Amino acid sequence: MHTDLLHSLYARRLRRQVMAGPLPRHVGLIADGNRRWARQMGLAHPSMGHKYGAEHIRHVLSWCEGLGISHVTVFLCSTENLQHRDDEEVALLLQVLEEMVSEHFDRPDSHWQVHVAGMLDLLPDTTARALKSAVEATRTCTTGFHLTLAIGYGGRQEVVEAMRELLYERAEAGQSMQELAATLTADDITRHLYTAGQPNPDLVIRTSGEHRMSNFLLWQSAYSELYFCEAYWPAFREIDFLRALRSFAARQRRYGG
């Protein structure tokens, strides 16, 4: 009880500090460490960590909502996960994500408008349908909060797909390769990314103690601030999140200058 009170008081103090400084408009989250957390907790199967990790998304979104952070992108499943992890584990992960999306976001009264980043063609039909249904159900959401679920996602592949779409677009317009090369800009590519129309992340947080981007929003995070947290994703506390925001507020953003 005494420890809970101290944590509550500390969180309240952190929240005041964070609210007094600049807050990120868009936070990217690399939700890593589900399996290691499950092993640490002695669960029957390490993949059970995915269930707890998926449920934890709602808690983190409530923290963001309370602070007015309007855009959140959560990296849930990479193209490498789909291709190289055990089939049984991948099936469980996708089932958990389907259930989470259907239960909490596939509803017109959702506070978060859902977007998807990734190659839906790589996903099972049931997963793709669940994601598309949530996108459609929240299309008219007017709260101003936007949640992007990165599933079957890879940053390099995203840029390749964007360039492919751009080439098709310009070819249909009758533009030659030489004309495209002479006029190509970064904005042209940005318009064809999965995240087109959304702000770039100001802050990217990775849990689990790993210090790498793992192919997450490579184009969009060129000038993002990075924060690495030791906690595994299911154990990522509000205090950990507020510490990341406090670190962000203390930094002087130079945007490459």
The whole-angstrom separation of Cα 115 and Cα 122 is 17
**Confidence (pLDDT) at 24:** 97
- Report the predicted TM-score, pTM, of the whole model to 2 decimal places: 0.94
**Confidence (pLDDT) at 213:** 96
Domains and CATH numbers, the chain: 21-250 (3.40.1180.10)
**Confidence (pLDDT) at 83:** 86
Q: Which residues of the chain have pLDDT under 70?
A: 1-2, 255-257
158-196 pLDDT, tens digit per residue, is 999 999 999 999 999 999 999 999 999 999 999 999 999
**Confidence (pLDDT) at 2:** 63
Phi/psi zone of residue 256: left (φ > 0), alpha (ψ -120 to 50 degrees), beta? Answer: left
**Confidence (pLDDT) at 190:** 97
Give the catalytic positions in this structure.
32, 81
**Confidence (pLDDT) at 25:** 97
